[in-house]
A and B are shown apart, each in its own frame.
Chain A
Amino acid sequence: EPEVTQTPSHQVTQMGQEVILRCVPISNHLYFYWYRQILGQKVEFLVSFYNNEISEKSEIFDDQFSVERPDGSNFTLKIRSTKLEDSAMYFCASIGQGDWGAVSEQYFGPGTRLTVT
């Protein structure tokens, strides 16, 4: 079964440092997403990416955040200057070219746990 992979599984960083979270979506997928989930809270949408550009972003996704698809396979989320409140699980997801009803095409990666100290 195809899968989305994410690295690292756990990242510990000091406040103010930059982090890059990496995702490898499923190869023939076209829509990519980043979500975050603070421990014990709901899954929150950060950004969607299609055709090499951001298609939608939430109010959480401020100037400290950026996304890239540098080489056609990796999809990265960069946080420029981390804050304590950025500590969360970050999930990447990718969706295939089918209709939204094509449920078999929606996949989440296992997540990166980011801890900011």
Chain B
Amino acid sequence: RKEVEQDPGPFNVPEGATVAFNCTYSNSASQSFFWYRQDCRKEPKLLMSVYSSGNEDGRFTAQLNRASQYISLLIRDSKLSDSATYLCVVILGRMRFGAGTRLTVKP
């Protein structure tokens, strides 16, 4: 089983749609969880942390289920500028990346 596994995508959605990304991790000792955003040929940039209680930042909601070793990211009212690859990142001693899920938002 991969350390961090994500929906392979790609996701192609119209503007205004709601889209959800899923991620699972293999090691229950993992310490912290994040979603990063990566634009084409750019560095990953932190989007948000993920907590068990769930956390929201504007149109973005992240959720962690430690029992299921599952992380999610929900984007509401998607914008063209949300088009990017979304990386699930788990901390276990160091950052461990999922392969990323590509999102394209179309007009």
Do A and B interact?
Answer: yes
Residues of A at the B interface (CB closer than 8 Å) are 33, 41-45, 48, 56, 89, 91, 93, 100-101, 103, 106, 108-111, 113
* Contact among A33, A91, A101 for B43, CB-based, below 8 A: A91
Main secondary structure of the interface of B (DSSP, over half): strand
The stretch of B11-19, B69-77, B97-105 that contacts the partner chain: B97-105
* Contact among A56, A101, A111 for B94, CB-based, below 8 A: A56
* Contact among B31, B43, B87 for A100, CB-based, below 8 A: B31
- Complex Cα spacing A24 to B45, Å: 17
Answer whether residue B44 sits at the interface, using C-beta atoms and an 8 A cutoff.
Answer: yes
Instruction: Given A42-B100, A45-B94, A56-B93, answer yes or no on A103-B34 (Cβ-Cβ < 8 Å).
Output: yes
Chain B, residue nearest A47 (CB) = B94
- Complex Cα spacing A42 to B98, Å: 7
Q: In the complex the two chains form, is B94's CB within 8 Å of A108's CB?
A: no
Expressed in whole angstroms, the minimum distance between the Cβ of B93 and any Cβ of chain A is 7
Expressed in whole angstroms, the minimum distance between the Cβ of A63 and any Cβ of chain B is 21
Q: In the complex the two chains form, is B49's CB within 8 Å of A100's CB?
A: no
Residues of B at the A interface (CB closer than 8 Å) are 31-32, 34, 38, 41-46, 49, 87, 91, 93-100
Q: In the complex the two chains form, is B87's CB within 8 Å of A111's CB?
A: no
Chain A, residue nearest B49 (CB) = A103
Expressed in whole angstroms, the minimum distance between the Cβ of A30 and any Cβ of chain B is 14
Q: In the complex the two chains form, is A48's CB within 8 Å of B43's CB?
A: no
Q: In the complex the two chains form, is A42's CB within 8 Å of B94's CB?
A: no
Given A56-B94, A100-B31, A109-B43, 13 additional A-B pairs, CB 8 A: A33-B94, A41-B99, A42-B99, A43-B44, A43-B87, A43-B97, A45-B96, A56-B93, A89-B41, A93-B95, A110-B42, A110-B43, A111-B41
- Complex Cα spacing A52 to B49, Å: 29
Chain A, residue nearest B6 (CB) = A42
- Complex Cα spacing A108 to B48, Å: 15
